[in-house]
Chains A and B, each alone.
Chain A
């Protein structure tokens, strides 16, 4: 729409300089909304506190060129997860595919354990029980699956601890899944095999808020090997999955997670790294 009437230069400059008075300013502003010619004649130099328009344009361009946050990211932000952590968690498909691979490996483990039960392999399996899911998770975060690996390797952060944190995240998801699955599948409850792994992983993580994770892991590994050896010597490795010990594993898992959350929140170091 082109108007035949236009604001003259002095009036326009007076408005931009903030000396036009209320009615004059209102009049100019109403006219500007409808007249492209007069808008184009606004020279902002006289305005008292006008920011650098080119700098603002750079900021606008930077913001609109950012990729739109994924649905997962927006949900996490809505749940009050800090934006940077949300980005880290949702960093693209890489992290999710590694996570899914780890989940599959962790589920495969008790299935194999059940299949081989009663054979000589079972003892060996039990010996490795707390390690296999951890190893599975570590494997699936190899350079082939995990594209964020370079940044992770460069971060001042114990790799063992990173692997254990992820193991915990995988186990916490797959144990309930297997419990539900076990209710529908006839036969033995396979998920019991994951409980030692869950308990030990959580304990090592909890202890690692005080000391090197390798020390805690070493101590627990020694204890576990001794216990398995003793049970095997007596010829009944099933005792390691007895009801009492299962409760102990669960309690250890709960205590480990509790300590981890409490300590990291206070230390402010790894809160939300996963």
Chain B
């Protein structure tokens, strides 16, 4: 059990600037699995996911001083990763971005109290409303609202013009508002 395993993420990132490969290994071990999964949920090409993951950690290594110690390292890494994903899939029609939504609800366990919170999100008003959006609109909502991309980045990621992104987001919001109001009524 070394010092590295107990150090927090911000300390690991600070060690990167000094060329500490051990800190890099630890950072990768902590963050590569969830980052990889999250990227894989947005892109169906294994090689692209591998490239983006590689780019992300190399960029973190080179730009570690750009992390100013504020906020979560995880959020910083995701910010790098999603933008690398945008530039990798730009202009590639063969790469499908965004996972398909499962048709059958996935509730094979009796929900506990804590899980009920999540299930309410998923199958409550908001989840249902999101589920009723067309895949194109849902992709725009996911990229802009949930992944925090700009309109320009979203248009590159999804391969549609910026104006289309704006229109779809606008309509999606209106539709969500409508569904939610319906649910409450």
Query: Contact residues of A with B, CB < 8 Å?
Result: 1, 5-8, 10-11, 14-16, 18-30, 32-34, 36, 39-40, 42-44, 47-53, 55-57, 59-61, 63-65
Contacts and interface: CB of A to CB of B under 8 A. Distances in A.
Contact of B37 (A19, A33, A50): A50
A94 to B, nearest CB: 25
A65 B61 CA distance: 10
5 contacts: A18-B100, A18-B102, A22-B138, A23-B121, A50-B36
A22 B101 contact: yes
Given A7-B118, A34-B72, A60 B38 contact: no
In the A-B complex, the 4 residue pairs with the closest CB atoms: A51-B50, A24-B122, A23-B127, A42-B34
A10 B109 contact: yes
Contacts of A52: 50
Contacts of B40: 18, 47-50
B139 to A, nearest CB: 10
A8 B106 contact: no
Nearest to A25: B41
Interface in B86-108: 99-102, 105-106, 108
Contact of B44 (A15, A48, A55, A63): A48
A28 B121 CA distance: 11
Contacts of B138: 22
Interface of B: 9, 21, 24-25, 28, 30-34, 36-38, 40-41, 43-47, 49-50, 53-54, 57-58, 61-62, 72, 74-75, 78, 99-102, 105-106, 108-109, 112, 114-115, 117-119, 121-122, 126-127, 130-131, 138, 141-142, 146
A50 B49 contact: yes
A63 B101 contact: no
Contacts of A5: 114, 117
A22 B30 contact: no
A60 B50 contact: no
Contacts, number: 148
A39 B44 contact: no
Contacts of A27: 118, 121-122
A47 B37 contact: yes
A52 B24 CA distance: 18
Given A26-B146, A60-B28, A51 B114 contact: no
A262 B20 CA distance: 49
- Which of B43, B108, B146 neighbours the largest number of chain A CB atoms within 10 Å of its CB? B146
Contact of B50 (A10, A20, A56): A56
Given A64-B21, A64-B24, 17 more contacts: A6-B114, A10-B108, A11-B115, A26-B142, A29-B146, A42-B37, A44-B36, A47-B41, A49-B46, A50-B49, A51-B47, A53-B32, A56-B36, A56-B54, A60-B28, A64-B57, A64-B58
Contacts of A1: 72
A40 B37 CA distance: 13
Nearest to B29: A57
